[in-house]
Amino acid sequence: MKADRGLEGKTAVVTGGSSGIGFSIAKDLLEEGVNVTITGRSAERGEEALGKLRKVSNKVSFVSGDGLDYNSSVAAFQQASRSNGNVDLLVSSGAEGPFGPKPFAEMTPEEIQSSHAMRFYPRIYPVHAGIPFLQKKGGSVVMITTDAARVPTPGESIIGAVGASVILLTKALAREFSRWNIRVNSVAITLTSDTPSWDRIFSKQDFENKLFSKALARFPSGRAPTSDEVSKAAVFLLSNDASQVNGQTLSVNGGLSFGGW
């Protein structure tokens, strides 16, 4: 008998839900009986994702929009609310940067600025836009961040700095949002297989490929986590199973960043 995780019938917005980890989370939420609205920059990828997700459940819709556009986040919540009357859950995922890891000394000022902005604002805009909807009945927020925030890695100075900001925000917002019975947690990821980022990393020989090839060889379990394994952690944090988990960041890294290996 399937355990009642308190998710069935709820409504979720999953940003970056048209591919990768966001897509896996959307699929798992649909399997739990959640009404899901996904967002993404590409309308074509969004329609492709809908086709796959509707094989799980028809309770899914897509809103096209750029994560750097605050109004795109508002539109996603408005659509989810119109369709289902309330929004209970938010997963802030996606927000891939303009390029991967690069040594700080080799970055231009423009690259520093764009790398920060394109990873940071699309992560927090949905959280801010969702407050008027989530505060009506309370709910749960999960942000996807990076283990580069916890373990300094050559080439990931800006990526790690953004991740550290999200980890701090997770704690601060959990305190602020407690007045509305909204929990805020994060999942920190590392190299994750079966994602667009994985495909990009290993498609060419460059600094990023060399960096993550070394990481791949160091996983204690012998492999990188899958997007499905990351998704399971996110869904747990959204569910009633984690009703007393708040302000926390859970790493899904196969032990790669665990001290002492």
pLDDT value at residue 2: 61
Backbone φ and ψ for 257, nearest 5 degrees, come out as -100, 10
185, containing H or E segment? strand 182-189
The answer for residues whose C-beta is within 8 angstroms of residue 176's C-beta and 6 or more apart is none
Instruction: Please state the pTM of the whole predicted model.
Output: 0.93
Q: How confident is the model at residue 206 (pLDDT cuts 50, 70, 90)?
A: confident
Residue with tokens 């995780």: 5
pLDDT value at residue 173: 98
Q: Is the pLDDT of residue 192 over 90?
A: no
**Beta partners for residue 11, in sequence order:** 35
- Region 214-230 average pLDDT: 89
d(CA 94, CA 123): 8
Q: How confident is the model at residue 258 (pLDDT cuts 50, 70, 90)?
A: low
pLDDT value at residue 34: 97
Q: How confident is the model at residue 152 (pLDDT cuts 50, 70, 90)?
A: confident
Q: pLDDT tens digit string along 51-78? A: 999 999 999 999 998 999 999 999 999 9
d(CA 30, CA 13): 12
Task: Please report the domains of the chain, with CATH numbers, ordered by start residue.
Answer: 11-192+226-252 (3.40.50.720)
d(CA 154, CA 209): 13
- Region 222-237 average pLDDT: 95
User: To the nearest whole number, what is the mean pLDDT of the chain?
Assistant: 92
DSSP state letter for 225: P
Q: Is the pLDDT of residue 1 over 60?
A: no
The 10 Å Cβ neighbour count of residue 40 is 28
**Beta partners for residue 15, in sequence order:** 92
